Structure 1
Amino acid sequence: MKKKIALVTGGYSGEAEISYLSAITVGNNIDTEKFDYYKIDIHPDGWNYVDAAGNKTAVDKSDFTINLAGEKIKFDAALMCIHGTPGEDGKLQGYFDMLNLPYTSCDAATSALTFNKRYTVAVAAFGGINVAKSLHIFKYAPVSAEAILQQLTLPVFVKPNNGGSSIGMSKVTEATALEAALEKAFKEDNQVLVEEFIAGREFTIGVFKTKGEIIPLPITEIITKKDFFDYEAKYLGASEEITPAKVEEAIAEKVRAAARKVYELLNCRGIVRIDFIYNEAKGEPFMLEVNTVPGQSEASIVPQQVKAKGWALKEFYTAVIEEAV
């Protein structure tokens, strides 16, 4: 009997459009000999199963089921393809936990923690991972640019504390530009992270667990044509992504070891992507952030890394689903 999988996509944030792209890639690579999958669109206007013709059937939120031609479809697992809220911040995970429905991402606690960039680096630092020096600022308790620069050294990154896709992010090299950067970040979130710049090479690495083993994928080096890896660099082609990264094995092993440690330390599940800066002066990787529902579109990094490892995407998503089930 084939397992019934809910491919959960959409979401309530600006990242929904990326979620829909991810769902296309994942849907095209689910092994339909092993699984029956149903695309579930979680949208502010409602939760619906969307069939191949675009017809919608409402989801019963009391038990996360759908009714098709008089048959009640109960899912065996949810395959998470929502970037941003409510699929990456722990909200859906908590709901699924209450229904005893397995899912392919980190649990509610880890998802909520990693969605908050400041709390992530704080916990990682406590566990012995290198992170940049930073300040966590709340909208209701504004901190002046002058006060920030008494504690941090330019250049700094200013970014919304929650969410991904680098929307609302700025690199600040001059004190006069800091206020505008804070304003831009506060338009996206009521919490902002101001983080000291670390010079070095930017690496990102997918990590997942299967049959009890934590497996790092081949590393990608990001060389941005802009000043930093923002939304435009990520999704609109303003960066070069080299997979696998052309990097000495000694450096690659340090990044892989740090990635495995972060995955274990934060009690991650499913596929996550962890971003690092490798500071050559110190000879150490510094963790930037953890993405618990990384992009899966054709242009995304994790699918590139899976292919670089010599795996078919179908084989990879089967392993991810089977680990959850």
Structure 2
Amino acid sequence: MNASVLDTTDAAAPVGPCDLAARIAGLFVYPVKSCAGVRVEQALLLDTGLEFDRAWMVVDGDGNFLTQRELPRMALIQPQLKTYEMVLRAPGMLALHIALDRVETRARVTIWNDDVAAFDMGPIAAQWFTDFLGIAARLVRFDPDHLRVSNLDDTGGTLALNQFSDGYPLLVISQASLDRFNEKLTAQGFAAVGMERFRPNIVLGDAPGEPLLSPHDEDRLDLIQITTAQGLVRLKPVKPCARCPIPGIDPATAISSHAVGDLLQGYRQDARLKGAVTFGMNTIVLAGIEHLLKVGQPVGANYRFD
């Protein structure tokens, strides 16, 4: 594989003045792919993204991944991360407790075109998901020994790993982008929507005393630096996030509507992806693995000049 290795040894070295200043306004982890997210105040950064992000996935009887695209009710499954376990809750269901340090049998599963090594989480979890979703389903956990590599063409040859995400370790969106979207949405007579619709990992917000972020600044960034207690984290946005119908699903009700998708179609068609609708940037980790990200940490970023 012709790829460069992540630089994890020089995270504290600055790279010069930044074009804009921001802060971390929100952090989200999605423990089970396509189920509800967990808003956290801090998260450990790993080479695959935030700790526990998309570490589990729901599959059908043939091992193929399942998402809200086919099963909107997955939006109603609410994970909670505790010290030693993950607790899953859903309407009409008893809570399902999943130990963070236990798995059962080995499995092979499919996500998009990738055949991935995983661990089956056992018959109790399988029955829980089957009962709630109404189809034969199982819960699996990503095998950490498996290397699932992001598209090297998009990463410029940098070896970027991920677990059960759609293909990249992190998704970054600015609060300014959501605010602009909601301005347009409410102008059409619809209620504003929350950031959870767009499922980011890192939300960028305005830094006190600094110029305000512009909507979709994340589209134009070449390098993002986050100052942590351990040194600088360096992230690189590599590809706009093409949006599927999931942002149109109300996470509180699992009911779909066309308002969100229609608005995105009206002003977010992206020439970089041949007219696909995009919102947010898929991002990889260049340095800072095992640093602790926290809401409020300062962010500096440089624009990309193509």
With normalisation by structure 2, the TM-score equals 0.27
Larger Rg: 1
Q: Which has the higher strand share?
A: 2
Larger RCO (CA within 8 A; separation ≥ 6): 2
Structure 1 length as normaliser, TM-score? 0.26
